Amino acid sequence: SLVVGQTGQNVTLPCKYDIKTNGAVYVCWGRGELPNRKCNNQLLSTDGHKVLEETRASSRYQLLGRLDEGDVSLTILKLTEEDAGRYGCRAEIPGWFNDEKHHVDLTVERGEKLLR
Ligand SMILES: *[C@@H]1O[C@H](CO)[C@@H](O)[C@H](O)[C@H]1NC(C)=O
């Protein structure tokens, strides 16, 4: 999917997995294409109940959706132009090659400057 944000604003990159069938599972977010396992350039991960703080690359990365409904959408605060690009979300569903993978392409437009 494709998401457009503006510099200085927050943006949410959508990702959901089937929590009803699988229960809460480990999910990671990374930048770029998802590799065969885990996430490249990891931004954060969750055990399905809460963000694993030791894996959070910056406080600008937040999970603000309903984790108990499998909503693991990533919110990025205070966008900069360097945030543009591809992101990957991987839910580690148990079993061989069962992981749910989603890619989101983020475009960042220059927001209007606040004049004071
Ligand atoms: C971005 O999110 C933060 C934290 O939720 C909030 O405090 C801030 O007001 C938001 N900024 C904008 C521009 O919406």
Tell me the per-residue pLDDT of 78-101, one tens digit each, with 9 for 90 and over: 999 999 999 999 999 999 889 999
Nearest residue (CA) to ligand 1, atom 5: 77
Q: Answer yes or no: is pLDDT of 116 > 80.
A: no
pLDDT value of residue 115: 55
Residue nearest to atom 7 of ligand 1 (CA): 77
pLDDT in tens, 6-33: 999 999 999 999 999 999 999 999 999 9
Res. 113 pLDDT band, cuts 50 70 90: low
CB-count burial class (<10 Å; 0-12, 13-18, 19+) for 26: middle
Q: Tell me, what amino acid is at 39?
A: C
Assigned fold of 2-110: Immunoglobulin-like (2.60.40)
pLDDT tier, 111 (very low <50, low <70, confident <90, very high otherwise):
confident
Q: How far is the CA of 93 from the centre of ligand 1 (A)?
A: 32
